[in-house]
Structure 1
């Protein structure tokens, strides 16, 4: 199939006369059917791009709706978010770093509202916790989540989520007496969500 494209270029008087005298010359009034034919023949070439955009927009809307459904079905009503950072400079124990991060998040806070019954209709036993830990991916398999949970003195832990995060960096020194195998320092971030 041969496609013909028309350019709106100025022609000299001699070239326009020669073009007009050509036996296959069609007047501009015959262009619309030709353009209709071309657009009909090639319409399938531009459809996928627009349909991909429509599919992407539709998928984004579905994800947003699912996120709203998940948020509304949350197992607790959120009151506080506490954040902390924990380090293990010697011994290369990511669980120790995670426990320190959780302690850092909770030890500088006091929440008497639960014990004193300041939240109407909510008892101390209804306190719930969700824990989110940012741990370097390569260290996640060696994380002992049960040990991390032991940091929290009260409250029902309804969820522990481990995501890619934290850091592995050099402590600057390898101290064999402290259990170092390398000079790596492990850093973990913690977010503790408290509600009922």
Structure 2
């Protein structure tokens, strides 16, 4: 029945909201919905062509109703496709703002020799090539914007901190960082009492966990 495939796509979008990573792109389902839209367009054209160029909706209410239903189905399918892709685009944008490096997609190793996809399980697994291109482009725009505002951390949390200093635990080795009070070596399972602004980005990237 028309619209059933679009319902499945919306359900997949709803499931995406509860996941920590972006799931694989539903290529087969999206293509099937596009084919359905084309079939609907073909059916509308056939109905109109059979009645000639001078056809008016008031001439045959049954045909007019059929055309109206087909057009409504097309519009609904298109809205579902737009909603699906907009949701995925926003998830990609969130990744960039959280510090994910778009250049690491497809690379075997990051700067520390660790597998890039191992650091972030399932990231970029099954993404559409256009999504990877969008992620890189969005990352370039953000990098350009950050370059103009070097004195402000645009990727920092929008929620004002309750405390200037916080207790943190290191979840994975992150090397050395320079803070206002000296050099700190972040080794896995170590704990520190540091200024939140010095480690905010590392918290977003998953290297450090803020302790309650």
TM-score by length of 2: 0.25
Q: Quick check: which one's strand share is greater? A: 1
Structure showing greater radius of gyration is 1
Q: Which has the higher contact order (CA 8 A, sep 6+)?
A: 1
